[in-house]
Amino acid sequence: MNIPLNFKFFERTYILTGPQIGILLSEKSNSVIRKVETFDFGLNLGFGQKIKDFFLEINFYQGLTKFIDVRTYNDNLGKGTNTLIQFSVGYYIF
């Protein structure tokens, strides 16, 4: 579950930015993955366009905490962070 706190700058064409926390609700067992963290913290940056009662957005998220430690039988592949690119289309109700 991700919980963003985005701040919106400007009105018609706008910028979104802010922190986000993520909490792991469940995981699927995998023999390759050694350790998965249950908490993630990162930053959002997005751009949007309001068109009458609709909006289009593209958001980029980069996790700052090491979220996963991946190891195979003989190799240590290191630790990774979450990265997300999200495209949204929405409609303003109010």
Please report, in angstroms and rounded to a whole number, the separation of the first and last CA atoms in the chain: 26
How many structural domains compose the chain?
1
CA distance 31 to 71: 9
Residues listed for the chain: 94
pLDDT tens digits for range 31-54: 565 566 788 899 999 999 999 999
Of 5, 47, 43, 1, nearest to 22 by C-alpha is 1
Give pLDDT, residue 74: 58
pTM for this entry: 0.74
| Domain that includes residue 33, residue range | 2-91
